[in-house]
Amino acid sequence: MENLVKLNIKGISYSQTQTGAYALILEEELGMRKLPIIIGSFEAQSIALALEKDIRTPRPLTHDLFVSMGQAFNFFVKGVFIHKLEDGVFYSNILMEDKDGKEEEIDSRTSDAIALAIRFDAPIFALEKVMEKAGIHLEVQEKEEKSIASAIREIEKEVAKQEKRFDFSSKSKEELEAEMKEAVKKEDYELAARLRDELDKR
Instruction: Kindly report the length of the chain.
Output: 202
Which pLDDT score, from 0 to 100, does residue 183 have? Answer: 81
Number of C-beta neighbours around residue 164 at 10 A: 7
Dist. CA 83–CA 90, nearest whole Å: 8
Stretch among 48-62, 94-108, 151-165 having the lowest mean pLDDT: 151-165
Predicted structure pTM score: 0.67
**Tens digits of residue pLDDT in 58-107:** 788 899 999 999 999 999 999 999 999 988 889 999 999 999 999 999 99
- pLDDT at residue 39 greater than cutoff 70: yes
Instruction: Summarize the confidence of residues 192-196 as an average pLDDT.
Output: 81
Exposed, middle or buried: residue 134 (CB in 10 Å: 0-12, 13-18, 19+)? buried
Which pLDDT score, from 0 to 100, does residue 139 have? Answer: 43
Banded model confidence at residue 143, pLDDT cuts 50, 70, 90:
very low
Which pLDDT score, from 0 to 100, does residue 65 have? Answer: 93
pLDDT, mean over the chain = 82
- pLDDT at residue 172 greater than cutoff 80: yes
137 neighbors 33 (Cβ within 8 angstroms): yes
